[in-house]
Amino acid sequence: MKALSADSFLARSLARLTVAVCRHPRWFFWPQAVLFVVCVVYALPRPYGHLDFDMNRDNLVGPDQKYHQNYLRLQKEFPQQDDVVVVVEGDNIEKNRQFVERIAAKMQTETNLFRDVFYQQSLAMMGSKALLYASETNLVEMKTMLHAAQPFIQQFTQTTNLVSFFEQINTAFRTAPREANADTESLIQALPR
C-alpha cells in the first residue's frame, strides 16, 4: 500500500509540474537562461571571470609531495630524460639475451613510441659517450695503442677529404720499405680496436 501511495504521489507531482510548465513557460525558461549566462561569465578567464587555465601538469600534484619534488629535480637535471629502462633477470643468460634482442627488435619497429632503442653491450652503440662506459684497463690499453700509433696517424692529419686520404695511404704503402709495410699493416689491423 505504501508503495502505491508513493508512486501516486510522484505521479501527481509530475502532473502538477507539467501543468505549471505549460501554463507559465517563462517561469522555467528564463531562470535557466540566467543561470547559464552566470556560469559562462564565471568560467571566463581571469580578467573577466574567476577561473584560470593552468596547463602545467606539475600542478596536478601537490607541491609538498616528496616523490613529486624528486621527480622535478630529476627533470631539471636531465631535461631530456623520458627513458624507459628494462631489466631482465633469469638463470639462463643466453635466454635473457635472446629475450632482450626480441623485445628490442619489436621496440625498434615502433618508431612513433620509441626514438632510440639501445640494447647491445657494444661501445660503438653508445656513440660519443662510449668511453664513459669502458673499463679502466681498456682505457689504458687504448691510450698505449694510440700513443704507439701516433706517428702513423699523425701523417694523415693533413688530409681534407676521403680522396686525398686514400691517395696518401697508397703513397705511404708504395714508398715505404718492405719491413715498414709489415708494421703499417699491423697498425691498420689495430685501428678498429
pTM of the complete model: 0.30
HSE at residue 100, side-chain half, CA atoms within 13 A, is: 17
pLDDT tier for residue 120 given thresholds of 50, 70 and 90: low
Going by C-beta distance under 8 Å and a sequence separation of 6 or more, which residues neighbour residue 53?
45
Q: How far apart are CA 1 and CA 74, in angstroms?
A: 68
Residue ranges covered by each domain of the chain: 2-43, 56-83, 84-119, 130-190
Q: What is the pLDDT of residue 193?
A: 52
- Block residue for cell numbers 600542478: 59
CA 68, 72, 73, 79 dihedral sign is: positive
In the block, residue with C-alpha cell 708494421: 183
Long-range contacts (CB closer than 8 Å, 24 or more residues apart) made by 61-66 = none
Q: Which of 60-69, 89-98, 124-133, 173-182 comes out lowest in average pLDDT? A: 173-182
